[in-house]
Chain A
Amino acid sequence: MAQIKNRLTPFFENITFDREDNELILNFGPQHPSAHGQLRLMLHLQQEMITKAHPDIGYLHRGMEKMAENMIYNEFMPTTDRMDYIASSSNNYGFALTVEKLIGLEVPRRAKVIRMMLLEINRLMSHIFWLATTALDIGAMTVFLYSFREREYLMDIIEGYCGARLTHAAIRIGGVPLDIQDSFISQLKAFLDKLPENIKTYEDLLDTNRIWLMRMEEVGTISTEMALSWGCTGPMLRASGVAWDIRKEEPYELYDEVEFNVPYSDKGDNFARYRIFMEEMRESAKILYQTIDMYEKCVKDGQTELMAHAPKYVSASKLDIMTQNYSLMQHFVLVTQGMRPPVGEVYVATESPKGELGFFINSQGGPYPYRLKVRAPSFWHAGILTDLLPGHYIPDVVSIIGTTNIVFGEVDR
C-alpha cells in the first residue's frame, strides 16, 4: 500500500499544547503501558494538577452483545472468555449461571464444587496479576517478578484441567465438561500451603515501603456516596466502606456452605484497595481449602454427575451419545440448532474478581438470545475516573488506574 498516499494528518500524541489560559491538554494513551489496555485519557492540566479528565474508551470494542444475538447459547461461551481475560472462567460462569437460571436448571453438586474451585483460582489469578501490574506501574519490579511466578503455578493447574492458560472456556451450561485431573488437588494444596508465605513476601516488600505508601495513601479517595452513585462494585466498593459481596449476600453455588470473611475498609483510597486485594487472596485460599474437603466428600459419597440431566437443553454424556441412539439425536439437534430456553427475561449478578459481573438475557424462545447485555464492572470503574482524577497530579493517574483494576476486554466488550 506504499504507493497510495494516505490522508492522515500528523497527530502528535503525548505532546502538550500550551493554551492562552495556561491550561495544558495531555493525551494519556491509548497506547500507554500504564493504561492497562487501550484507555485514552484527555487530561486538562494546571501545572501538574488535573482539572478535568475525559476517559475515552472503545478501542477494543468487538461488539460482544451483537455477536451474542447471532450465536446459539453454547457458541457464545468461548466468546465470554475474551471479556475479562485475566479471569476468564468467571465470565464463563456468569453466563452459564444466567442461562441456567433462565431455564431453571439445577447443577449437580460435584460440578458446583469444581466450579467454585475454578472461580476461586481465577480470583487468585486475577488478584495476583493485579498486584504484579500495579506494583510494576509504581516501580516495584521485584513484586512483579515474584507474583508472576505464583500466577504461573495457578495457570499450570488450570492448564492441566482444561488445556488453556488464559481463555479457559472451562464451564458449560449445566455443569462442567470434565472432572478435575488426578494431580489437581495435590498441586492446589502445594500452592495454597505456600500462599500465605508468598503474600507475606509481597507485604514485606510493600506495606512499609515509603515510595509505595506515598503513592497509595490518601490518593484516589472514593467516598461511599460516589462509589454507590458510579455503580462501583467488588473491591472498589468494599474499599469505600460498603461490605457488599454477592457471594455472601446473594449466595450462588455453594458459597453459603463455606466460611469466609468479607474484608472492607472505610478509607476509600488506593492503599485501602490494595489491602482489600491482599486480604481477599487469603479469603480465597480459605474457600479453596474448604472446597477441597467438599470435593473429597463428593468422591466418597459416590456423586459422579458433572452435567445436569435436561435432555431439552443439555447434551448427554459422551458415553451415552456414543451408545444411545436418542442421546445422539438430541446431541445433534442441540449442536446444530441450539437449545431453546423459555420465553422470559433474567438478570443474574455474580461476584467476579473485578466486581459485579451481570448478564441480562431476554429470550424469545429462539436458539439465539433476543438481547444479551453484559454488565461489566470495569465499565463503571473506568467511568469513575472522570470524577476521581480532577485534583490529583499526573503520577497519581497511574496508581489510580492501577488500583481500579480495569480490564479493557471488559470495558469495551
Chain B
Amino acid sequence: MRAYKPKDDVQKKPYYTDRFYKSPQVPKSSPESDELFSADLDAIKERFEVLDAYIQVGQLVVYINPQDNFKVLEMLKNERAYSQLSEMSAIDWIADRGGFEVFYQMLSMAKRRRIRIKIFIKKGQAVNSVEKLFRSADWSEREMFDMFGIEANGHPFMKRILMPYDWQGHPLLKTYPLQGDEFAAWYEVDKIFGKEARDIIGPEIRDTARVDRYDSERFSLLGHEVPKGTKITGDEPKVQESYQEEGGVFLIKKFDRKSSVVIDDPQR
C-alpha cells in the first residue's frame, strides 16, 4: 500500500522524529508583568472582547474577534500611540483549524513597544481593510490576498501584487507545492506559444536541481564526451580532450598532454 500523504499540507516534513520527542515552548508571560502593555490591554478590554493575551519574547500578543480589527487598530493608533503598522500577513491553519490567522504587527515609537494583534478567520472569509488607517496596509493586504487569497473589504485596489494578474492559485497556502502546480508548469508555454505547442516544448522544469542521467546534450561522463544528441550506451571510448586553439596563440606555448609530464606524486 502506498504511504498516505496528506493533501492539505504538502510542505516538506521531517523524515524522522523521535517518538518521545516533546517540543519545548517559547515562554509566555502575563501582560500584567509590563506596565505599558497592561495599560494597553486594559484599554482594549474596555471596549472589545479579548480572546487571549500574553507577552512572548518582549511583545504583547492580543487575540481579538475578526470584526473588531479596524476599530482596535484605530484605537491603538489614535489613543495608544501605536503610530506604525510595521507588518501584517496571515498564517495558513486550514489543515488544522479550517482558517487563517491574520496578524497585525504594530509599533509605538513613543513607548518603544511592539504589539501584535491577531484575528482568526474562516477559509473564504474576508477581513476589514485597515488601509484607511495605515497606508502601508495598501500593499500588505494586496500581498496577503496574492499569497493566501484573503480579501480585504474596502480596499481600493484588491489585485495581485507579486504574481501576475492572471495567475491561478495562492503560493503561500500549505496546499500549494513548492515547485508550483500544473498551472505553473504550463503558464509560460500556454501564454507565449499556445496550448498546441505543449507537446513540442514540454512543461517548465521547476525543480532546478533535477538532472536527467540520460541527457547527453548537457550532461556527459567526464572524459567520455560524445557529440550532442548521441544515444548513450555506457561504453563510450575515452576522449583525449584539448581546450586550446589548434593553431596556437601568439607567444603562448601550447599546453599539450603528450609533450608534458604528469606528476602523480604531489610531494615529489
Residues of A within 8 A of B (CB): 1, 4-8, 57-58, 61, 63, 65-67, 69-71, 101-102, 104, 226, 228-231, 233, 242, 244, 249-250, 337-338, 340, 342-349, 356, 358, 360, 362-368, 370-371, 373, 375, 379-380, 383-384, 386-387, 412
A102 touches B87 (CB 8 A): no
A4 touches B201 (CB 8 A): yes
Closest 5 CB pairs of A and B: A344-B26, A365-B23, A231-B136, A58-B162, A342-B24
Given contacts A58-B161, A63-B171, A358-B105, contact A346 B201 (CB under 8 A): no
B114 contacts partner chain A, Cβ-Cβ < 8 Å: yes
A373 touches B201 (CB 8 A): no
From residue B265, how far is it (CB to closest CB) to chain A in Å? 27
A61 touches B163 (CB 8 A): yes
B26 touches A342 (CB 8 A): yes
Most buried by B among A230, A244, A358: A230
A375 touches B139 (CB 8 A): no
Which chain A positions have C-beta within 8 A of B24?
342-343, 365
Task: Give which listed residue, B86, B89, B192, contacts A231 with CB less than 8 A.
Answer: B86
Which chain A positions have C-beta within 8 A of B116?
345, 347
B15 contacts partner chain A, Cβ-Cβ < 8 Å: yes
Contact stretch, chosen from B35-43, B54-62, B231-239, B245-253: B54-62
Which chain A positions have C-beta within 8 A of B92?
371
From residue B213, how far is it (CB to closest CB) to chain A in Å? 24
B11 touches A229 (CB 8 A): no
Q: Cα distance A365–B23 when bound, in Å?
A: 5
Which chain A positions have C-beta within 8 A of B193?
1, 4-7
A–B complex contacts, Cβ < 8 Å, 19 sampled = A58-B160, A58-B164, A67-B178, A69-B178, A70-B11, A71-B12, A230-B135, A233-B86, A343-B23, A343-B25, A344-B26, A344-B56, A345-B61, A346-B26, A347-B59, A349-B107, A365-B23, A367-B14, A380-B139
Most buried by B among A5, A61, A340, A373: A373
Which chain B positions have C-beta within 8 A of A383?
135-136, 138-139
Residue of B nearest to A382 (CB): B139
B194 contacts partner chain A, Cβ-Cβ < 8 Å: yes
Interface residues of B in 164-205 (CB under 8 A from A): 164, 171-172, 176, 178, 191-194, 197, 200-201
Given contacts A6-B192, A342-B26, A367-B14, contact A70 B162 (CB under 8 A): no
From residue A30, how far is it (CB to closest CB) to chain B in Å? 13
Which chain B positions have C-beta within 8 A of A71?
12
Q: Cα distance A4–B173 when bound, in Å?
A: 35
Given contacts A230-B135, A370-B91, contact A242 B109 (CB under 8 A): yes
A375 touches B178 (CB 8 A): no
Q: Cα distance A344–B54 when bound, in Å?
A: 12
Q: Cα distance A345–B25 when bound, in Å?
A: 10
Which chain A positions have C-beta within 8 A of B191?
7
B70 contacts partner chain A, Cβ-Cβ < 8 Å: no
Residues of B within 8 A of A (CB): 11-16, 21, 23-26, 28, 56-57, 59, 61, 83-87, 89, 91-92, 103, 105, 107, 109, 112, 114, 116, 134-136, 138-139, 147, 160-164, 171-172, 176, 178, 191-194, 197, 200-201
A229 touches B112 (CB 8 A): no
Task: Give which listed residue, A61, A226, A242, contacts B162 with CB less than 8 A.
Answer: A61
Which chain A positions have C-beta within 8 A of B160?
58
Q: Cα distance A363–B176 when bound, in Å?
A: 19
B134 touches A69 (CB 8 A): no
Task: Give which listed residue, B57, B86, B194, B200, contacts A344 with CB less than 8 A.
Answer: B57
Residue of A nearest to B61 (CB): A345
B91 touches A371 (CB 8 A): yes
Q: Cα distance A249–B237 when bound, in Å?
A: 69
Q: Cα distance A337–B16 when bound, in Å?
A: 8
Which chain A positions have C-beta within 8 A of B84?
228, 231
Given contacts A6-B193, A102-B57, A379-B139, contact A342 B109 (CB under 8 A): no
Given contacts A231-B86, A367-B14, A412-B162, contact A347 B178 (CB under 8 A): no
Q: Cα distance A347–B26 when bound, in Å?
A: 13
Which chain A positions have C-beta within 8 A of B201?
1, 4
A345 touches B26 (CB 8 A): yes
Q: Cα distance A272–B26 when bound, in Å?
A: 42
B23 touches A347 (CB 8 A): no
Given contacts A66-B171, A342-B25, A343-B23, contact A366 B14 (CB under 8 A): yes
Q: Cα distance A69–B107 when bound, in Å?
A: 26
From residue B169, how far is it (CB to closest CB) to chain A in Å? 12
Q: Cα distance A66–B181 when bound, in Å?
A: 14
Q: Cα distance A86–B214 when bound, in Å?
A: 40
Which chain A positions have C-beta within 8 A of B138?
383, 386
Which chain B positions have C-beta within 8 A of A345?
26, 56-57, 61, 116
Residue of A nearest to B24 (CB): A342
Q: Cα distance A380–B85 when bound, in Å?
A: 11
Task: Give which listed residue, A338, A346, A347, contacts B87 with CB less than 8 A.
Answer: A347
